[in-house]
Amino acid sequence: MRKLFFLLCAVAISLPSFALEVGDKAPEFELAASDGKTYRLADFKGKQAVAVAWYPKAFTKGCTIECKSLAENGDLIREYDVAYFMASTDELEDNTKFAEEMKADFPLLSDPSGEVAEAYDVKMPVLNMAKRVTIYIGKDGKILKIDRDIKPATSAQDMARTLGELGVAKKG
Residue 41: which CATH number? Answer: 3.40.30.10
98 within some domain = yes
129 within some domain = yes
73 within some domain = yes
**In angstroms, how far is CA 137 from the centroid of its own chain?**
10
**pLDDT value, residue 32:** 98
**pLDDT value, residue 80:** 97
**pLDDT value, residue 18:** 58
124 within some domain = yes
Which pTM does this prediction carry?
0.88
- The domain total for the chain is 1
8 A C-beta contact, residue 54 and residue 27? no
| CA distance linking residue 6 with residue 2, whole number of Å | 6
pLDDT in tens, 72-126: 999 999 999 999 999 999 999 999 999 999 999 999 999 999 999 999 999 998 8
| Domain around 141 | 25-165
**pLDDT value, residue 172:** 76
Which residue would you say has higher pLDDT here, 66 or 20? 66
Eight-state DSSP code of residue 83? E
